[in-house]
A and B are shown apart, each in its own frame.
Chain A
Amino acid sequence: DGGITQSPKYLFRKEGQNVTLSCEQNLNHDAMYWYRQDPGQGLRLIYYSQIVNDFQKGDIAEGYSVSREKKESFPLTVTSAQKNPTAFYLCASSIRTGLPPYEQYFGPGTRLTVT
């Protein structure tokens, strides 16, 4: 089945530690996205990548880093510089060619808790 995999579903870390969230897709999509979701805040864009080896900052990139070495994978690292990292993180992907609109397909999410 085609889809987006995010692992793990729940992640716990101590303050001051970096942590990497996994996102893998087998939809053959060029574009991938990372969002952060907090209660009552909707989804806020952290980083996005339209092609391999290229990515752009979203609206709340500070304290996060990404890489895009393979089309299928777009890992997100939450660094110790992120002041409030506890949140629900969602990965998404979409096509980026042909006629719009380009709907995004979402993974099941990773809930990160930092204490």
Chain B
Amino acid sequence: AQSVTQPDIHITVSEGASLELRCNYSYGATPYLFWYVQSPGQGLQLLLKYFSGDTLVQGIKGFEAEFKRSQSSFNLRKPSVHWSDAAEYFCAVGARSGGSNYKLTFGKGTLLTVNP
């Protein structure tokens, strides 16, 4: 079964600083990988996704993520953080689950605080 680990529960950065959120996955085949963002009390919004091709993926809001198969990682990055980026970030891996069923497995999330 697939699994996702987000090692950092809470990260604090200053506005304008760079950001990297870590994600490690476990899956036997080529994974489908996603990053989502959630503002307090809201649903999740997709930032970016990866399945194949270029290992550096660009997403919305200036985010990017790099897939590294050798490290089973899919880390999220942003060169300059804005105060509005404060939110919780979830990494997820998608996989087939019996026949044609398909589901996502989410990490426990990383809460990002941005200091002015």
Contacts and interface: CB of A to CB of B under 8 A. Distances in A.
Interface of A: 4, 31, 33, 35, 40-45, 48, 50, 56, 58, 88, 90, 92, 94, 96, 100-109, 111
Contacts of A44: 106
Given A103-B46, A103-B49, A43 B100 contact: no
B101 A48 contact: yes
B9 interface: yes
Contacts of A56: 97-98, 101
Say what secondary structure dominates the interface of chain B.
strand
B71 interface: no
B45 interface: yes
6 contacts: A4-B43, A42-B106, A48-B101, A50-B102, A92-B44, A103-B46
Contact of B43 (A58, A96, A109): A109
Contacts of A40: 9, 108-109
**For chain B, which range describes its interface: under 10, 10 to 19, 20 to 34, or 35 or more residues?**
20 to 34
B101 A101 contact: no
Most buried by B among A43, A101, A109: A101
B34 interface: yes
Given A42-B106, A43-B106, A100 B42 contact: no
Contact of A103 (B34, B90, B106, B109): B34
B25 to A, nearest CB: 13
A108 B105 CA distance: 19
Given A42-B106, A96-B100, A96-B102, A101 B34 contact: yes
A100 B32 contact: yes
B31 to A, nearest CB: 9
